[in-house]
Amino acid sequence: MEMTGSQILLECLRQEGVETIFGFPGGAVINIYDDLFDSPIHHILTRHEQAAVHAADGYARATGRVGVALATSGPGATNTVTGIATAYMDSVPMVVITGQVPTPLIGNDAFQEADIVGITRPVTKHNYLVKDIKDLPRIIKEAFFIARTGRPGPVLVDFPKDVQVATDKFHYPDKVNLPGYKPTYSGNARQVEKAVEMILGARKPVVYAGGGVSSPEAGEGLTQLAELIQAPVTTTLMGMAAFPKKHPLSLGLLGMHGTFFANMAVTESDLLIAVGARFDDRVTGKVETFAPHAKIIHIDIDPTSIKKNVRVDLPIVGDLRDVLDKLVKRLSEENEGVSGLIDETVNWRQKIEAWKEEQPMRYEPSDKEIKPQFVIEKIREMTRDDAIITTEVGQHQMWTAQFFDFSQPRTFLTSGGLGTMGYGLPSALGAQAAFPGRQVIDISGDGSFQMNSQELATLVQFNLPVKIAILNNNYLGMVRQWQQLFFKKRYSQTIMEVPIDFVKLAEAYGAKGLHASHPDEVEATIRRALEIDGPVIMEFKVAREENVMPMVPAGKSLNEMVLAS
């Protein structure tokens, strides 16, 4: 049977198991939207294409499946770029489909033409322009395959209008043929053997886990390894939810706003086992003095991550689950070695416990003003373990990482690599669309919230009961903190002069708005919000000049952190 390009696209999506997509229509995708009208695929109309992509990203991070976004050509396509770059930096599997002007017009500066393949080349894992309907099923097949395999990432498919209306017989390939794309899944046995040796010889081992462990499978492997060798585990933002904070071996966050004990442990360690992490500068601080006494084992599926920023003594390329399983299996056979290791590292764990006691993660409580950290602790207390937390970017994001005890994989969605303000609300929307029954909470700042606040309308339209906690300090707080500490308190353009009535804003969209300005009101506000069966903004007027501490000033070593301001 002959089908049009746009029908073929939707059929391909269906065969990939896509149930929900996020998008925004326009002239260059109007045919696809016409076919969507009768399609079983659920489409969520965001109010901005950036939000559609973040929503697909949130959907993907929460489920582990490929998120899908759809936008029109030109401005629709360019609006997706921030969302794509966000997903690229955090290795999120995603397929973004953009309309394009008809192929004969490409290159003519046609109405709403933008070279989105050129624009997104550096922020996609791969991208395509569909020039011929005959290539369409293969391209969609490859796009999904590339997005979800190896180190995951976003793939963009640019789909010209004339190809959408062209017709062809439909056949969906069941295999891809990509001679240049063969990720290494199986960790090299000899390298694993060397790792076993290094681990058994260590006296101050630390595991450093990044976004690679965010899947439940990899997280389980990580936990098994850490427990077997009794090594403390520190994580990045991306790896955070994979290893329960309450676990006795947990050191919490590493890096610029990491815990005292995580930063000290890494600085003193003699063996750093990096698992699915990429030694980002926010994690390493001054790279020359990062983990100065440690041998480094680096396990990652992406060879380019290895030795990019730091020296590595033992690289192991492979799927984390595979490598961790092999390591655990081999170590389990070394009964004596492992019990020797555990004996020999008693002092190390004691030292870490002493650090934890000396400088726990803490803040100065107050009964007069709302401390932002207090709100975060309360939200944790009052939500279920499987609640999904998203954040925007800024102080509130760091406090969430510091004070929220994550305990389940895929429950912390935050823009780590790109640090995109405006990510939290639409990604919460996407996560809620994936899990209508779960609690989904965007912990937000007053500045970031305004970057995608239009998505309140989407929440209301699609009955997505996301709860938004705005920690309102009336500042672009994180930038203000830097200005306070490094620019003589010259608060250049970080004071949000216009006070916004967030309660009214919520109501204007048909959502509920709640407000708290005293610590006594915090609990009741959260309780009410959680009881309401729809989207709610909770505005918390928080201590305005609270700082995120500890802090490693940019360019300093991890052990040069400032503990209090």
Partner 1 sequence: MKHTISVLVQNEFGVLARVAGLFSGRGFNIESLSVAPTLEPTISRMTIVTRGDDRIIEQINKQLHKLINTIKVIDFTHKDCVAREMALIKVSAEEGTRAEVLRITDIFRAKVIDVAPRCYSIEVTGTSSKVDAIIELLRPMGIKEVVRTGPVVLARGARMGEK
Looking at the annotation, which residues are catalytic? Answer: 49, 111-112, 161, 478
Place of tokens 């990939």: 16
User: In whole angstroms, how close is the CB of 419 to ligand TPP at the nearest point?
Assistant: 4
CA 12 to chain CA mean position, Å = 27
DSSP character string of 165-186: H-EEE----SS---TT-----S
DSSP character string of 368-406: SSB-HHHHHHHHHHHS-TT-EEEE-SSHHHHHHHHH---
DSSP state letter for 437: T
Residue whose CB is less far from partner 1, 170 or 181 = 181
How many residues touch ligand TPP under the rule CB under 6 A: the total is: 20
User: Which token pair is 76?
Assistant: 């629709």
**How many CB atoms lie under 10 A from the CB of residue 180?**
4
Q: Which of 30, 34, 110, 126 binds partner 1 (CB under 8 A)?
A: 126
Q: Which of 170, 172, 181, 435 binds partner 1 (CB under 8 A)?
A: 181
| Nearest residue (beta carbon) to Mg ion | 445
DSSP character string of 283-306: HHSSGGGSSTT-EEEEEES-GGGT
d(CA 420, CA 407): 24
d(CA 316, CA 195): 9
Of 441-460, binders to ligand TPP (CB under 6 A) are 445-448
d(CA 111, CA 131): 19
Q: Which of 125, 245, 298, 321 binds partner 1 (CB under 8 A)?
A: 125
Residue whose CB is less far from ligand TPP, 120 or 473 = 473
User: In whole angstroms, how close is the CB of 357 to partner 1 at the nearest point?
Assistant: 40
User: In whole angstroms, how close is the CB of 146 to partner 1 at the nearest point?
Assistant: 6
| Residue 448 interacting partner from Mg ion, partner 1, ligand TPP, none (CB closer than 5 to 8 Å by kind) | ligand TPP
| Residue 421 interacting partner from partner 1, Mg ion, ligand TPP, none (CB closer than 5 to 8 Å by kind) | ligand TPP
Q: What is the dihedral of CA 337, 266, 293, 326, to 10 degrees?
A: 40
Q: Is residue 142 a contact partner of residue 178, using CB atoms and an 8 Å limit?
A: yes
Work out whether 303 is an interface residue with partner 1 (CB under 8 A): yes
Computed over its alpha carbons, how large is the radius of gyration of the chain? Answer: 24
DSSP state letter for 242: G
d(CA 285, CA 281): 6
The residues, any chain, with a CB within 8 Å of residue 493's CB and separated by 6 or more, are: 476
Using the rule CB under 8 A, give the single segment among 88-96, 121-129, 186-194, 357-365 that binds partner 1: 121-129
Q: What is the dihedral of CA 455, 456, 460, 464, to 10 degrees?
A: 70
| Residue 170 interacting partner from partner 1, Mg ion, ligand TPP, none (CB closer than 5 to 8 Å by kind) | none
d(CA 347, CA 461): 57
d(CA 282, CA 337): 35
Work out whether 180 is an interface residue with partner 1 (CB under 8 A): yes
* Long-range contacts of the stretch 517-525 (C-beta < 8 A, 24+): 517/370, 517/541, 518/368, 518/369, 518/370, 519/366, 519/367, 519/368, 519/369, 519/370, 519/371, 519/374, 520/367, 522/370, 522/374, 522/375, 522/378, 523/378, 523/382
Q: Is residue 60 a contact partner of residue 67, using CB atoms and an 8 Å limit?
A: yes
DSSP state letter for 90: T
User: In whole angstroms, how close is the CB of 418 to ligand TPP at the nearest point?
Assistant: 8
Residue whose CB is less far from partner 1, 104 or 118 = 118
Distance between the two ends of the chain, CA-based, in angstroms? 70
DSSP state letter for 490: -
How many residues touch partner 1 under the rule CB under 8 A: the total is: 18
- Alpha-carbon distances of 485 from 331, 400, 402, 555, rounded to whole Å: 47, 21, 20, 14
Work out whether 281 is an interface residue with partner 1 (CB under 8 A): no
User: In whole angstroms, how close is the CB of 446 to Mg ion at the nearest point?
Assistant: 4
Residue numbers at the binding site for Mg ion (CB under 5 A): 445-447, 473, 475, 477
Work out whether 179 is an interface residue with partner 1 (CB under 8 A): yes
Place of tokens 């969507």: 36
Work out whether 308 is an interface residue with partner 1 (CB under 8 A): yes
User: In whole angstroms, how close is the CB of 62 to partner 1 at the nearest point?
Assistant: 27
Work out whether 477 is an interface residue with ligand TPP (CB under 6 A): yes
Residue whose CB is less far from ligand TPP, 124 or 420 = 420
User: In whole angstroms, how close is the CB of 269 to partner 1 at the nearest point?
Assistant: 23
Work out whether 475 is an interface residue with ligand TPP (CB under 6 A): yes
Q: Which of 17, 40, 122, 437 binds partner 1 (CB under 8 A)?
A: 122
Residue whose CB is less far from partner 1, 139 or 537 = 139
User: In whole angstroms, how close is the CB of 375 to partner 1 at the nearest point?
Assistant: 40
User: In whole angstroms, how close is the CB of 392 to ligand TPP at the nearest point?
Assistant: 5
Q: Which of 473, 483, 547, 557 binds ligand TPP (CB under 6 A)?
A: 473
Residue whose CB is less far from ligand TPP, 47 or 396 = 396
Work out whether 118 is an interface residue with partner 1 (CB under 8 A): yes
User: In whole angstroms, how close is the CB of 120 to partner 1 at the nearest point?
Assistant: 11
Phi, then psi, of 475 in degrees rounded to 5: -140, 155
Angle between helices 372-382 and 519-531 (to 10 degrees): 40
Q: Please, which residues bridge with residue 4 across strands?
A: 167
Residue whose CB is less far from partner 1, 42 or 308 = 308
Binding mask 144-173 for partner 1 (x = CB under 8 A): --x---------------------------
Of 478-507, binders to ligand TPP (CB under 6 A) are 478-479
Of 122-151, binders to ligand TPP (CB under 6 A) are none
The residues, any chain, with a CB within 8 Å of residue 354's CB and separated by 6 or more, are: none
Binding mask 236-275 for ligand TPP (x = CB under 6 A): ----------------------------------------
Q: Is residue 60 a contact partner of residue 96, using CB atoms and an 8 Å limit?
A: no
Using the rule CB under 6 A, give the single segment among 144-152, 388-396, 401-409, 519-527 that binds ligand TPP: 388-396
The binding site for partner 1 (CB under 8 A) comprises: 117-118, 121-122, 125-126, 129, 131, 146, 178-181, 302-304, 307-308
The binding site for ligand TPP (CB under 6 A) comprises: 392-396, 419-422, 445-448, 471, 473, 475-479
